[in-house]
Structure formats: structure tokens, C-alpha cells
Structure 1
Amino acid sequence: MPFAGFDIPKIRGLGSDVKALGDRAGALHNDISGVLFQAQALLGGKPATTSPALQPLVRPPVFWVGLFGGAQLPGALGRELHDMSDSITRRCNQLEKCSALLDKGYAIDPAVVFADEKAPDQQKIDGALSAVAALNGKGFGEDGNRDDLEKVKQQLDGLTAAELDAFLAKVPPEDLKRYGDLAGKTDDSGMWWWESHDGIPDNEFRDHLSGLLRKAGPAHWGVLESAFPGIQPGFDTTDVYLDGANSQRGVNTSGITYQTPTLPLFAHPGKVDASTISQGQFADCWYIASLTATAQANPQFIAEGIKKNANGTVDVRIWDKDGTKHWVTVTPDLPTDANGNPVSAHGNGETWPAYYEKAFALTYGGDQGGTNGHDGDPRYDKAEKGDYGATEWDQTDKAPPYVTGHDSSSIDNNLDAIRKSFESHHPVIVATGTEQPPQNGPSDLSQGFVTRHVYYVKGFTSDGRIRLGNPWGSGNPDVLATPEEYEKYFNSPQQLRVGE
């Protein structure tokens, strides 16, 4: 037994004792009920107890016997003790089977060895290894062979966390990469459409990768990343990586690399504060403005759309280009610069905005090229998918469906129309053009104003101006614009619809 300090027979004995306590819980409460009922009668009707937890037990004992058969504690404790006993038994089985696999040379990450799941089955592991290896040499041209890939996908999806870890430790890298390459080839080209179904459809494959990453132990995340590019979004095609700086903000971004943050998902568990969101250095204001506007209008909706998994990965709810909802799983590491500062989106002492952005980078498939002053340069100006580069420089109406699950609606470009939408509790975003307002104009519009940028509506002032929040974060002043200034310098207002 490689797990020192774990005496399986004693732990199993504890599980049996816990189950026996559950069996006796009902009888115990019958006895308590009887004592309390008699005490109340002797007290002339005065309460036998002041405890809210015990007051419901002041009944004739037969009540509990008739309702629960004397076998379970009234309420849930009897069931909870039985569930606890069953969990102890499953964990013991898991430890024993994992230990046997380790003795045979299979590697399993300690993070999943103690999982409460069905004990690993060596036949399933070896079957998956054989299925992946069998893809070598098969024809995957215009005749498709999607069925072969679907079978492998189903086998891998059916593995428990421990089985998947053992598989990832054994599978030759070239076999797994071949499967990833074949599964990702979805051009479906050929003379006969019924014979040309190649690869696995994008939506299915995205869910497949999330399922694998959600189960795999941290020691094997690198194996998945090497075989499946869709596991980790790249950043080497972003403007800030190629330039070494954010040209709009003048922030140095040299030495970008992935690092795992020490900050929690939420600064205050389960609570979202839109005012703390900062875009970071990637040129995706159009997405972060949509996320921030939604968080401002419905913080609970955003909070419910992200959760941390037992293995340390993070699940993010996101809708794809076809309107299908997914829980996209991402690793916890995030892009940082050479000094350890966050390059991606972030909050004040929290990381949830970064994971929303990371999941979006993996999912967004609408980038057809387009740059900030680098048109025609193939390093910048190209169609991208599945990386941070794909999220840079796009239109206000493109991000909302990924955040909310619904297309946004265009609003007339005037403050009356925008106020009506905003006061109807819709998130609203607006864009700026290329014209810069005068620095010494009659108002303070120039404070915080950025060309080719997207803002979110924060409200309206008492004198009729619109207040716009900058997705760059709280360190940047709000923009205040009169109706005339708004119509001159702003455009493309979008009303978002929140809710599934």
C-alpha cells in the first residue's frame, strides 16, 4: 500500500459503525420524543424544551414510528449517515484499486486518488489505450471515419478521474496527438456529403475537452495541452505580445507567460462587483465592456456562471456562436508579464474576470482578421480561433451572445433611447469612433475618453449627461457626455438581454 497512514480495514470498520448509527437514529429519536412528550405532560402544558431543534420532537413516539418506521432519524440525519458510510466504502475501494494499478506501473495523480467515485477498472484503461493506438494507419480522408473517432471519444468520456489519469500516464504522446488532430479536422469536404464527415463537430469536441480537463489530475494537464491545442489559448498573436506593450495605454507587456495566481476566484465568496473589473492589456474592450455591463445589471447571473472544480480547474458558462450553452473548463494559470503583473482581465483581489475572458478566448470563432494599424501584416491581420488574438478588435454586437446567451439589440444613437433601455434594467454598451474631442473644450468629456473603444453605461447625471464606465477599470475616470457630445463622438449602442 503506497499510501502511508491509511489502514483500509479500520476505515471500512468506521464506515460500518457509521451505518449502524444511521440505522439506530430513528429509535434514538423515538426515545427522545417520548421523554419530551412525557416531560411536557408532567409540566402541566409548559414547554418541555426551548430548543427550536427539539421542539418538533415533542410528539407521541408512535408519530416517528408511523412516519419513518423507526429506521431513520426524522429529517435527514439517518440518510446522511448512510450516505457517509457509502462514501467511506467507495473511497476505500478507490484507494485499493489505485494502489493495485500503481503497483503495476500506472501513474495516478494524488489529487484524484482520494476521489469519491467508482473504483478504477484496468480493462477500461487498456481498452482506451488500444482504441487510440488503433487510429494509426486508418484512412481519414474524404471518406470521413467520424464513427471511429466518436467511439474513442465515448471511451475517454466514460473513464473516471483515476482511470483517465492512468490512461494519460500510459498513452504515447504521438497517439494522443493523432487523435486530437483527426478529431479537430472538421472540414467535411468531399463529393458525397454522407461520406465526408471528418473529425468531431466543434461543439461536441469542446465539451469533450472540458470533460477531460475537469477530471484530469494537475500532473497530467500538460499531456492534454500538448495533444489538444483547444485546452489552452495562446497569446503569441496578440498585439501586446507582438509589440511588447499596450499601445493605447502605454503599458509594458514584455515577457508574457502563464502563471498560476494565488488570489481567490472571488474576493467576497459568490459576490460580483462590476466596479472592480479591469480589462487588462488585451485589446478586447468590446468583450470586457459586455461582461462588465452584465455584471452591473445582474451580478448574480455572472456569479452563477463560474465555479471551481475539485482538481483546481475552473468551469465557465458560455454560449457559442450557435447559441449553445457550454461549461468550458480552463486551467487555473493566467497570462502575466515578466514582473508577474496580470496581462489578462482581473478584479480587485480576485480572478473570476480572467477566467471568463480565458473561456471566451477558447470559444470565440468569429475573428476574420482586422487590426489596429497593421492591416496586411500577416503577424497581426489574420483570421484566428481559440486564442487571445481572436478576441482583439471586434464590434460591439459580437460579444453579448457569448456572455448572455442572447443577441444584443441595436438602439437609436441618442440619450433618450439609451436611457429607456438602461432604466429597463438592460446592460448597455457604446463605442467611440476615431475622432478625439478637444482637450480644452467646454466640458470634461476629454477626461477618460479613448478613441476606438467600447464603454458600458453606468447611469445618468442630474443635469442630463450620460455616465460611461471604462472597462480598463476603476483607476480610469468615467466619461461624462451631454446629448450633443454623445451623438458626435459615440456610436453603435447595444442593449443586452440577460437570462437563459
Structure 2
Amino acid sequence: MGYHRNNWQQAANNVAGYLPFGREVMAVVNITKAFTDEVGLERLKYVPDGHPVVELPWQPPGPPPDPARVEAVGRQAWEALFADTDRFGARPLLDQVGNLLVPLPPAELDLVIRRFGPQGLLRWDELMHVTDANEEEAYDFYRQQEVFNWLLRTVSPYATMLIGDSMPCSQPTYRLLPEDERAGRTAGWVLPEGPFAQVDGTYLTENWQRVSASTEAMSWQDMDQGRFGTCWMLTSMQAVLQANPAYAPRHLRQEANGSVTFTLYEKGRPYDVTVVADLPMVGNSLYGAKGHSSDPRYAETWPGYYEKAVAQWYRGYEEIAHGGLAARALAFLTARPVQDIDISSPWVIHEIADRKARGQAVTVGTKGQGSDRDTLMGGRLATSHAYFVKDVDVPGGRICLGNPWGDGASRTMWEAWLGFHDIQHYLSNAEAAFTW
């Protein structure tokens, strides 16, 4: 069960000791790779304490722009943005801007956004937060997100990045962990070059045995948690994807301009969250969730965009980055009732097997005091950590837990088999939900 990707360099390093001059050859390769890696990282569009804004190729759908209409509509919208809110009210002014811009085809809307520039976009963002006599904002969060969804799906990659840089509420915020701050690392955002998702239907075991694995572009195997404490939502996604491989393409998609949209559920109702295509990066590595590499040039990025969309919905990474209950994530992923599993039941293993056989996603949590830095079961489990149940051995009386730390973790923590007494001793909760 402990599968992970391997590349040519990893394989070569393993056999170098058995070949004449193997170590010497690999030493030269590693030095060359380190140099080219550093040069390659310098190419990345990374902005410390800010967001990248770069021009990228884009072919707008629809007719070519009408310069006269762009000029007229842009001027009227600008005047509405900077009109006196005490006299006209923030909500009517925002509605006027929307009524002017919504009918524009993508190419014309893009030109208007570019002409607004940082000053106009910042004013638009601020206008949403002007309060009335009842201390209510002109646009509530849901309405704000609708505006960002529309803009970020419609305009060019450059304009989406301009919005992400100049309209603070279109992006979730994040903070460095204390140890990263003490080390003097710089927080920032990068436009990664790695693929959104990729299909690779082969994994290798630790014994170099080839096995079939991921056949979907977005699969449960492609998950590495990163530095945020988001195990509760990442492993819930793993559980859902294992139970229903068709889930991801229907809920997570990359738009034609590079922005990414995730559909989640709030009280059973679907909501789209569209986010800019940049991701947190610290110390030459992606800081949040990713595929099987933290290198922003190669990492599959869909886990990071899923994490970012949820962070946007919950008003910032800090709201999701300090742990949570997997049941909460199963609810916004599936819109289905989440059912608790009685882990003290003598039939708990049979019940989990039955639920998985019926297409349910099953997650569990380990005991602890709020930190996953300590371990249980001889180092096999992290405390206060969320896992998903990826396999059940009913005749053997055990279940196998999958770790959202992915194959970036040590082999002993990548997966763990638990018998009935282990379940009683180490787990604090278990829950399940249908995914179809």
C-alpha cells in the first residue's frame, strides 16, 4: 500500500554504489542539478510580501473590443466608484458599476479592468466594505465572492493577477509558522509552473515493484499536506476521491485564463469559489498543499488550489490552518449528512468495511492535545491528526489509515495498519459520508 513516485535520479542514487565510478558520476550530476535548480528558481514569478502580476498569452472569447465603448463604459464606472458614498450610498454605486460592466464581452471587460489599475480596483474593494447605519457592509461575503468569481473567470491572466494584487478580499491571507519567522524566511506568492494535474498510472513500491495506481488526473495519491495544519480537509478530500474518483473533475476545474474554481457546499447549497492562480511560497518551496514535490516548477498544483479556495471561503488560511474536524470538511465536500461511527463497537471494523463497500468516504482522528508533532503507536501515528481509511482487512481484523502528509513523510508514517485494540487506544473519532 505504501506507493510513491520515483524519478530517474532517485533510482540512480540507489544503484550508484554498485557501479564503477557510480558515486563520482552522481556527485557531478547532483552539483549540476543544484546549479540548474537555483537558476530555474530565479525564473519563477515570485513576489515576497505580494502577488505576481505578469503578462501571459491569452485569447479572449467573443468579439474584438470596441475602443469607444470601452472608453465610455470605463469612464462611467470610474465615476461611480469614486462618487460620494454619503450622498449616493455604497450599494447603489456598486450595483451601478456591475450593471455597466456585466454586459461587456471578455475582451472589453479586460481592458476596463486594466485601465482601472490598482487605484480603481482597490477603491472597488473598499466600496464593498462601506457600512450603512445598521453597520452592515454594502456587499456581504457571498455577494463579494460572486463578484470575484465573475471577474476572475472572465478577464485575462494579467487582469486576474492584477485583481489578486489590488483587491485584498479576492485573496486569502496567510502567516508564517513561528519557526519560519525565526529562520528569517520570507512569505510571498508564486505563479507556479507545475501542472494543474497529471495522469501517471504507475507507482513503485519500496522494493521497486511496479504496481498500478493513479489512473485519474486528480487522485487521492496526489496529496502532500505542506506547512498548514489542514489535515482535516486534505484527508477528507482523499477519502472522497478514493470513494468517488469522478468527484474532482466535477468540483475542481481550471478556467481558460488560468484561474481555478472549486465548488463546495454550505448547508447543502453549492457555492463556487474562484481564486487567482498564485500559491504561497516560502524558501523556494510551496508552503501549502501540493502533489509529490514542493518545487513550484514541477508540483501538481490542484491540492494547493483546493486548499486556497477553502481558505478564501473561510476568510484566510489562518482560519483553516490550525486543525479542524474532518466531519466539517466532509460536509462542505459532499453536501451529504455526515454520520459518526462508534469506534468502541466490537463490530467497528465490519461497519467501516460495509460503509466503504457502499461508496462512503471514511475519516478518523487520533488522540492528542492539539498538535501533530508528537507520535503514537511507536511513531506510526501523529497525535491530533486526521487520516482517511484507505483499506480494510476484515479477515485480519484491521484497517489501514492513509496520511495526508503523502509520500513526503517517512515510510512508517505514510500508512498505518490498526487492529481493534489499536482503534480503541489511539483513535478519538471516526465519521463517514456518501460521495455520490
Kept in 2: contact 1:277–1:345 (CA 8 A): yes
The offset of 1:403, in angstroms, is: 1.9
1:264 — aligned with what? Answer: 195
Does 1:327 find its partner at 2:272? yes
Q: 1:154 to 1:431 in 2, by over 3 A?
A: farther
1:272 counterpart SS class: coil
Give the residue type in structure 1 aligned to 2:361: P
Find the counterpart in structure 2 of residue 19 from structure 1: none
Which of 303, 322, 326 lines up with 1:392 in the alignment?
322
1:174 to 1:266, Cα distance in 2 relative to 1, 3 A: closer
Quote the offset at 1:263 in angstroms.
Answer: 1.9
Q: Deviations over 1:434-489 (max 9, x none)?
A: 179xxxxxxx9334211111110112234101211111103433122221221222
Which structure has more relative contact order (CA 8 Å, sep 6+)? It is 2
Note the C-alpha offset of 1:275: 2.0
The aligned residue for residue 368 of structure 2 is 434
Which whole-Å CA distance do the structure 2 matches of 1:447 and 1:110 have between them?
A: 47
Please give the per-residue CA displacement for 1:320-366, whole angstroms capped at 9, x wherever unaligned: x344323322222222221x2222111235221111111111112xx
Q: Which moved more, 1:216-225 or 1:483-492?
A: 216-225
Letter in 2 for 1:264: P
Number of the residue aligned with 1:80 = none
Select which of 348, 358, 362 maps to 1:424.
358
Q: Distance in 2 between matches of 1:189 and 1:392?
A: 35
Change (3 A) 1:138 1:481: same
Q: Secondary structure at the match of 1:471?
A: coil
Q: Which amino acid aligns with 1:272?
A: M
Seen in structure 2, the aligned counterparts of structure 1 residues 261 and 197 have a Cα distance that, compared at 3 Å, is closer
The reply to whether residue 445 of structure 1 matches residue 377 of structure 2 is yes
Amino acid aligned to 2:428:
N
Structure 2 matches for 1:367-386, cutoff 5 A? 385-386=315-316
Give the TM-score of the pair, scaled to structure 2.
Answer: 0.71
Q: Show structure 1 runs of 5+ residues with no match.
A: 1-107, 191-195, 247-251, 365-384, 437-443
Question: What residue is the counterpart of 1:69 in the other structure?
Answer: none
Q: Which runs of 5+ in 2 are unaligned?
A: 1-53, 201-215, 293-298, 371-375
- Equivalent residue for 1:302? 248
Q: Is the 8 A contact 1:397 1:407 kept in 2?
A: no
Q: Which amino acid in structure 2 is aligned with residue 258 of structure 1?
A: W
**Aligned match for 1:342, one of 286, 304, 311:** 286
* Equivalent residue runs for 1:274-313 within 5 Å: 274-313=220-259
Mapped contact 2:65–2:107 kept (Cα < 8 A): yes
Aligned partners of 2:56 and 2:157 also within 8 Å:
no
Task: Determine the structure 2 residue equivalent to 1:204.
Answer: 143
Q: Map Cα deviations across residues 179-203 of structure 1 (whole Å, 9 max, x no partner).
A: 2122145x7762xxxxx76412322
Give the letter for the 2:194 counterpart.
L
Pick closer, same or farther for the CA change 1:109–1:467 going to 2, 3 Å. Answer: closer
User: Does the CA-based 8 Å contact 1:317-1:327 persist in structure 2?
Assistant: yes
| Contact 1:230 1:386 (C-alpha < 8 Å) held by counterparts | no
Alpha-carbon displacement from aligned partner over 1:113-169 (angstroms, at most 9, x marks no partner)? x4230332332553244234334352359x964233222123333332221221122
User: How many angstroms apart in 2 are the aligned matches of 1:413 and 1:355?
Assistant: 33
1:401: which partner in 2?
331
Q: Distance in 2 between matches of 1:253 and 1:457?
A: 38
- Which secondary structure does the structure 2 equivalent of 1:312 belong to? coil
Contact 1:257 1:336 in 2 (8 A): yes
* SS class of match (2:271): strand
Question: 1:153–1:354: structure 2 CA closer, same or farther, 3 Å change rule?
Answer: same
AA aligned to 1:354 is G
Distance 1:410 1:229 in 2: 38
CA distance 1:161–1:150, shift in 2 (3 Å)? same
Q: Which has the larger radius of gyration?
A: 1
| One of 343, 347, 351 as aligned partner of 1:413 | 343
Identify the residue that residue 373 of structure 1 maps to in structure 2.
none
Q: C-alpha distance in 1, partners of 2:392/2:109?
A: 54
Q: What is aligned with 2:157? A: 218
SS in 1 for 2:327: coil
Pick from 311, 322, 338: which aligns with 1:361?
A: 311
Q: If each structure's strand is expressed as a fraction of its own residues, which one has the higher value?
A: 2
CA distance in 2: counterparts of 1:435 and 1:224, whole angstroms: 40
Distance 1:156 1:402, change over 3 A: farther
Identical columns (%): 25
Query: 2:109 and 2:227 mapped to 1: Cα distance?
Result: 36
Name the SS for the 1:244 alignment partner. helix
Q: TM-score, normalised by structure 1?
A: 0.62
- 2:73 is aligned, of 127, 133, 136, to 127
1:472 counterpart letter in structure 2: W
SS in structure 2 opposite 1:219? helix
1:164 is aligned to 109
Task: Return the match for 1:492 from 423, 429, 436.
Answer: 429
**Could you tell me how far 1:110 is from its partner in structure 2?**
7.4
1:469 corresponds in structure 2 to: 402
Q: Is the alpha carbon distance of 1:314 and 1:137 closer, same or farther for their aligned partners in structure 2, counting shifts above 3 Å?
A: closer
Alpha carbons of 1:481 and 1:351: their partners in 2 closer, same or farther (altered >3 Å)? Answer: same
